[in-house]
Amino acid sequence: MLDPADTVVLYEELAFQDVLPVRWHAQPNPPVPGASLAERNLQVVQAWDALEDHSVVEKAEENAPLAAEIQRLDRKLTLLLALVGQLLALNRPRPAPVPLRFNARGALWQAGENAPQPGTRGMLEIYLHECIAQPLRLAAQVTAVAPTEVRVRFDPLDDALAAIITKIAFRRHRRQIAGRHGPNRSA
């Protein structure tokens, strides 16, 4: 299903791929995405973007003490967020992680025995990071169900949300390519 060696594409656009907790809530008439849901989704994705592992650009030697201090503070903040996330997870159990591929247009994930039927409308919840308590909640319609996977198309997303999701998918793809063609690659 999800081959990490390939370029990750879904609905003819670059997609993000990982193994994450996902939950589908069938709702014949999902709530119309309002400002509060759009704002919450934007905050969730912005937090996720901030937690993503961005490569650090090496600084000149005069900035080395400042860069080292920023990295030290970043590690402490990441540890604190992980601990808070673990505490929240104790009170709000998450679904089991499954292979997932998604972009601003839709998602594809491995489903268990309770896969929804094609045409079903609902809300897809994606828990993007263990440190983020709230899931990304996107209204969608099931477009296809195979024996082991479900494919949904999202209702149109807010432009800012779509842009961040697209940026993260591109960044992940770029890192994947750099990893395959990096200096440690054996010939």
pLDDT confidence bin for 106, thresholds 50/70/90: very high
Domains (ranges, CATH) in the chain?
A: 9-54+94-178 (2.40.10.220)
How high does pLDDT run on average in the chain? 81
Q: Which residue has 């704002």 as its token pair?
A: 39
Greater pLDDT, 34 or 152: 152
Ordered DSSP codes for 52-114? S-PPPPPPPGGGHHHHHHHHHHHHHHHHHHHHHHHHHHHHSPPPPEEEEEE-SSEEEEE--TT
Measured distance CA(86)–CA(79) in Å, rounded = 11
pTM: 0.77
Mean pLDDT of 114-136: 90
Measured distance CA(162)–CA(3) in Å, rounded = 24
- For residue 59, pLDDT over 80 is answered with no
Q: What are the pLDDT digits (tens) for 168-183?
A: 889 888 887 777 666 5
- For residue 56, pLDDT over 70 is answered with no
CA within 13 Å, CB half, 167: 13
- For residue 26, pLDDT over 70 is answered with yes
Tokens read off for 98 = 């499954």
Q: What is the pLDDT of residue 58?
A: 44
Mean pLDDT of 126-142: 91
